Amino acid sequence: MPPLEVWEKVFLDDAEEMRSTHLKVGCMICHRGDSSTMDKSAAHEGLIIDPSETSCNTCHSEIAHNNESNLHTTLSGFENALLTRGANLAAGSPASEAFKNHCQTCHTTCGQCHVSKPDAMGGGLVSGHEFKNPPSMKNNCVACHGSRVGAEYLGTNTGVPGDLHWTKNGMSCSDCHRTEIHGAGEVATNRYHTSSQVECIDCHEAVLDKSVSNAHHRLHTEILSCQVCHSVDYKGCYNCHVEVSEQGTCYFTSDPSVMQFEVGFNPITSPERPYKYVVLRHVPTNPDLFASYGANLLPNFNALPTWKYATPHNIQLKTPQNDGCNYCHGQEQLFLLPSDVTPQELEANKSVIVYELPGMGE
């Protein structure tokens, strides 16, 4: 979707929609302002552009309550990672300023999923003032989650097929990610530690039934995440640096993305994710991420790996590594070896690096 002119962002081209449930109550109930005047300044006095926080809970109280602690709202995953790496996020601290300027701008609201594009992606009404439920995959989900998950799912990475859930069945994000998108009313440490997360076996439950599943599943489902066998190359990112221009614009730079496929040890073992081996994606963080705000703002950087648990969204039935036993066992290029990690990051990733390839009996 090309960038919209400022007036296009607030254009109501849906006269029919004006009679929907939401808009029957009129504009001012949510947006305030003064609808009785034709003077522009007076009409916009006290205007609330995005009334998500003040209005949605009037009718959607349960969802609104859960959403208050939702990862999309709190970005607690980012915050927790920075705290673990030693960042001081106390109000007014340099790391706090960096977090506010560069990370928190990406959070979203009810309206920025269901009515308009997210502010971080330019904003603007998606389809008049229509309330989209589920949200538009292209204008909302992929608007933010586009460079990695979106590209994988839709198959826009050169030479890499899209996810078969999309290419064969045309499934949208919301076909898997349903109410869990609104959170479970708890602050999660990251997106893999929520009590409402999506799992492949929600649909593919027979895989765990040893009386009907195939030999590969019987042997591997307890030690390999599904993606180890069923995903293909995905994008990894490196060397993000955040800065503020002389004009006060917050921006970031990073190295070009790299296509990769690396199997390593599971860094977040839990009852829901008990696997020994998982696929790992390099994330753009680095010790100098916030260097423009001050020196050594992530003093405990090595407390977390830079190769993170990944769930690439490019699932295939047949992949190069699941074509037979020897297409995975003994294949060094599939595993995250010490030689795949820069010397500066060896310490941070020592818990996920595979120092000895798994044997057939493992």
Provide the binding-site residues for other proteins, judged by CB under 8 A.
3, 5-8, 10-13, 15, 18, 23-29, 31, 33, 35-38, 40, 43, 58-59, 61, 77-78, 106, 120-122, 142-150, 191, 245, 249, 251-254
Q: How far is the CB of 12 from other proteins (least distance, A)?
A: 5
CB of 14 to other proteins, least distance (A): 9
Side-chain half-sphere CA neighbours of 104 within 13 A: 13
Shortest CB 57 distance to other proteins, Å: 10
CB contact at 8 A, 229 and 220:
yes
| Three-state secondary structure readout of 107-151 | CCCHHHHHCECCHHHCCCECECECCCCCCCHHHHHHHHCHHHHHH
Q: How many C-beta atoms lie closer than 10 Å to residue 326's C-beta?
A: 9
Q: What is the DSSP letter of 334?
A: G
Q: For other proteins, which is the closer residue by CB, 65 or 145?
A: 145
Cβ closer to other proteins: 28 or 187? Answer: 28
Instruction: Give me the least distance between CB of 256 and other proteins, in Å please.
Output: 11
Q: Minimum distance between the CB of residue 1 and other proteins, rounded to whole angstroms?
A: 11
CA-to-CA distance for 67 and 164, rounded, in angstroms? Answer: 30
Contact (CB, 8 A) for 83 and 190 = no
Phi/psi of residue 33, nearest 5 degrees: 75, -165
Contact 96, 88 (CB under 8 A): yes
In angstroms, give the least distance from the CB of 10 to other proteins. 6
Q: How distant, in Å, are the alpha carbons of 42, 242, 265 from that of 250?
A: 32, 7, 36
Q: How many residues does the chain have?
A: 362
The rounded distance, in Å, linking the Cα atoms of 105 and 102 is 6
Q: Is 161 helix (H, G, I), strand (E, B) or coil?
A: coil
Terminal C-alpha separation, the chain:
48
Which residue, 15 or 91, is less far from other proteins as judged by CB? 15
Q: How far is it, in rounded angstroms, from Cα 170 to Cα 193?
A: 28
In this structure, are residues 175 and 202 in contact, taking their beta carbons and an 8 Å threshold? no
Partners of 259 in beta bridges: 235
Of 37 and 342, the one with the shorter C-beta distance to other proteins is 37
Cβ distance to other proteins smaller for residue 6 or 90: 6
Which of residues 114 and 217 has its CB atom nearest to other proteins in the complex? 114
- Distance CA(138)–CA(127), nearest Å, equals 12
Q: Which is nearer to other proteins, 140 or 302 (CB)?
A: 140
Please state, in angstroms and rounded to a whole number, the distance separating the CA atoms of residues 297 and 357: 36
Least gap, CB of 67 to other proteins (angstroms): 17
Minimum Å distance from CB 311 to other proteins?
10
Nearer to other proteins, 27 or 223 (CB): 27
Closer residue to other proteins (CB): 177 or 318: 177
Q: Would you state the structure tokens that stand for residue 37, as one six-digit string? A: 């005047």
CB of 220 to other proteins, least distance (A): 26
**Smallest distance, other proteins to C-beta of residue 7, A:** 4
Amino acid letter at 154? L
The residue (of 39 and 356) whose beta carbon lies closer to other proteins is 39
